[in-house]
């Protein structure tokens, strides 16, 4: 539905700053123009390897939401939250998406590994010498 966010050719992703667990592909980034609980934050379409806590109602600067805090599945650090429901119609686009605290995560560029890369970069096919 809506816009499509393609993965980049180089595999870049956000990892937990404490234990380096993979949290999100940079290709799922919607905007880095957000503020989290601990400083700068990113709105991300999809986050993996997190535990979602119970839904709570929170009053934020942009309105009232039902959110779930998310914690790294390995070290249990709080890395952000998931927007479950937005009360304001203008904020509905956030529903189902996640806030990732940029102070709790770091962006890394991985070595391209053919076994782990979901979408193969074309160069891998061009350079194969058969
Ligand atoms: Zn962690």
pLDDT in tens, 3-19: 565 554 557 899 999 99
In the reported structure, the alpha carbon of residue 124 is separated from the centroid of ligand 1 by a whole-number distance in angstroms of: 31
Give CA–CA dist 15/114, Å, rounded.
20
Which tens digit of pLDDT belongs to each residue from 94-125?
999 999 999 999 998 865 554 555 555 555 55
Q: Where are the domains of the chain?
A: 12-126
DSSP string, 37-101: SSSEEEEES---SEEEEEEEEEEETTEEEEEEEEEETTT--EEEEEEEEESSGGGGGGTT-EEEE
pTM of the predicted protein model: 0.76
pLDDT in tens, 30-67: 999 999 988 999 999 999 999 999 999 999 989 999 99
Q: State the distance from the centre of ligand 1 to the C-alpha of 19, rounded, in angstroms.
A: 4
- If you measure from the C-alpha of residue 52 to the centroid of ligand 1, how many angstroms do you get, rounded to a whole number? 14
CATH level 2 (architecture), domain 12-126: Beta Complex (2.170)
């Amino acid at each position: 539905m809506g816009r499509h966010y393609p993965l980049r050719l180089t595999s870049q992703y956000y990892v937990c700053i404490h234990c380096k667990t993979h949290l999100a592909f940079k290709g799922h980034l919607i905007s880095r123009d957000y503020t989290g609980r601990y400083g700068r934050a990113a709105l991300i379409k999809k986050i993996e390897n997190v535990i979602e806590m119970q839904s709570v109602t929170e009053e934020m600067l942009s309105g009232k939401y039902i959110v779930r805090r998310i914690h790294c599945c390995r070290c249990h650090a709080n890395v952000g939250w998931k927007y479950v429901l937005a009360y304001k119609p203008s904020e509905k686009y956030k529903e189902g998406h996640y806030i990732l605290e940029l102070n709790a995560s770091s962006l890394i560029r991985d070595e391209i590994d053919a076994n782990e890369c979901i979408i193969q970069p074309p160069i891998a096919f061009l350079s194969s010498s058969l």
